[in-house]
Amino acid sequence: MQPGSENTGPDPRRWKALAVTLVVGFMILLDVTIVAVALPSMQRGLGASPAQVQWVVSGYALTFALSLVLAGRLGDAMGRRRIFLVALAAFVLCSMAAGAAPTIGLLVAARLAQGIAAGFLAPQNSALIQQMFRGAERGRAFGLFGATVGISSAVGPITGGLILALAGAEQGWRWIFFVNVPIGVAAFTLAARLLPHARGARRGALDLAGVLLLGAGVFLLMFPLVQADAGGVHELWWMFPAGAALLAAFVLWERRVAARGHDPLLAPGLITETRGYAPGAALATVYFIGFSGVWLVFALYFQNGRGFSPLMSGLCVTPFAIGSACAAVVAGRLVERLGRLLTVLGLAGVVVGLSAAALLLGFASPGVAVWAAIPALLVGGVGSGFVISPNITMTLKEVPVRMAGAAGGALQTGQRLGGAVGTAALPGVYYLVLTSSGDTAQAVTVALGAAVGGVLVALAIAVAEWRRDGRPGPCPPEVAHGHTHAGQG
């Protein structure tokens, strides 16, 4: 295979290259949740306030989300291998800086930079799958990618608790960052050998106005959410309409750029003319509200409500992670045959699993509830495995390879926004009920019920799209009201 070409045979090293990118994808997504269990020890070790130490988590999530679409566009234009390697090197250096940080200010700065590097890595993963795989193989590759997303989100608390248990409560939090260094160095060495080179990439002028409009809009929507623990949603409510207005301006600007024959940051045809992309992106955003938020709810319930250790708390949700991982791999083999029906079945499974867990934790006796919830969490995890990877496959299926980076970046931006809403809203519901009733069982039931409500909205979107699947639709936007470049790696 001529690396980077879309018209030659498959790269014989594609599965090895995928394995490397999935390890990196697991590492950057794990860093979203792994840090949460170490916040108390960070606060003690650095003499930080709760608001300061919260930025170690929220700052990473914020800069991660802000970088995604720009990173995808640059990967399309300059070559995904190049962006991947530069961003991976930056991520490793930032991990070293975070682990060695002597003050909370330097730790937060390192995490902000680490989030930018992670945001530049993430869209290259899905774009490289689009580039290296075709047909049924692409579905299997996205199945592995979906398993990586599901596992990394679910095992973060377990991994963090295990590292703290082995390295000690006082300085163990530093190893949460240091562990990225040997993994990142090994991945960099292998990626430099295995990832396909870009051929024929043309560097169009970067849509700077689009970058600013999109970045400012996403920032205004996310900032109150990442500041939710400090009253951000109440005090900064005006940022939500301001952010929505900027995103509307971004859409209008991108249409104008495309109409003039220039290169938009995000081609309007992706939304308006690419079959399955808009509903898939909407489904992902809504689903991640519930999917991302339940982990904090479980952590609050098991650690604060039941007095479990961080490690034990993480182990309690392991059935969900196991079910999600196994189902995602199987889903990659079924998605070509079942299509959107697979996500409908998966979302139904998540609704059943989370509903059953909510009822069991809320109404069963404390000694029985945790054990009784294991099958329910397993069912929910299996359902989740049938949602994430098939939705990615179906959403990006009609996207031309040359637009895969920007499309994947926009899709993951929606996921990050949904995740930010979920991690702010669902613990807020938990605390609201707990404050009014003093009952942790009631609080976890209501909070998980709110998560189920979000999943039901995603299910409605999936059912509507499934019913449309059999109807003729528009062709992929080969010229999607905006010029993108063929043959880009």
pLDDT tens digits, residue range 276-288?
888 888 998 899 8
Range 241-249, long-range pairs (CB < 8 A, 24+ positions): 243/216, 243/217, 243/218, 243/219, 244/217, 245/217, 246/213, 246/214, 246/216, 246/217, 246/220, 247/213, 247/214, 247/217, 247/218, 247/221, 249/213, 249/217
Q: What is the mean pLDDT of residues 25-50?
A: 82
- pLDDT-derived band at 31 (thresholds 50, 70, 90) equals confident
Q: What's the pLDDT at 331?
A: 84
- pLDDT-derived band at 489 (thresholds 50, 70, 90) equals very low
Name the residue with higher pLDDT: 22 or 7.
22
CATH 1.20.1250.20 fits domain 14-196+266-468: yes
pLDDT tens digits, residue range 416-444?
778 777 877 888 888 888 888 888 889 99
Domain limits of the chain? Answer: 14-196+266-468, 208-265
Cα–Cα distance for residue pair 406/482, rounded to 1 Å = 13
Cα–Cα distance for residue pair 9/487, rounded to 1 Å = 14
- pLDDT-derived band at 206 (thresholds 50, 70, 90) equals confident
Q: Exposure string (b/e) for 151-183, b if CB count within 10 Å is 16 or more? A: bbbbbbbbbbbbbbeebeeeebbbbbbbbbeee
Q: Are 159 and 34 in contact (CB under 8 A)?
A: yes
368: Cβ contacts below 8 Å, ≥ 6 apart = none
Q: What is the mean pLDDT of residues 98-123?
A: 92
pLDDT tens digits, residue range 323-336?
888 888 788 778 87
Q: Are 488 and 4 in contact (CB under 8 A)?
A: yes
- pLDDT-derived band at 1 (thresholds 50, 70, 90) equals very low
Residue 219 tokens, joined: 């920032």
φ, ψ of residue 31 in degrees (nearest 5) = -70, -10
Q: What is the mean pLDDT of residues 38-63?
A: 81
Torsion sign over Cα 79, 400, 415, 217:
positive
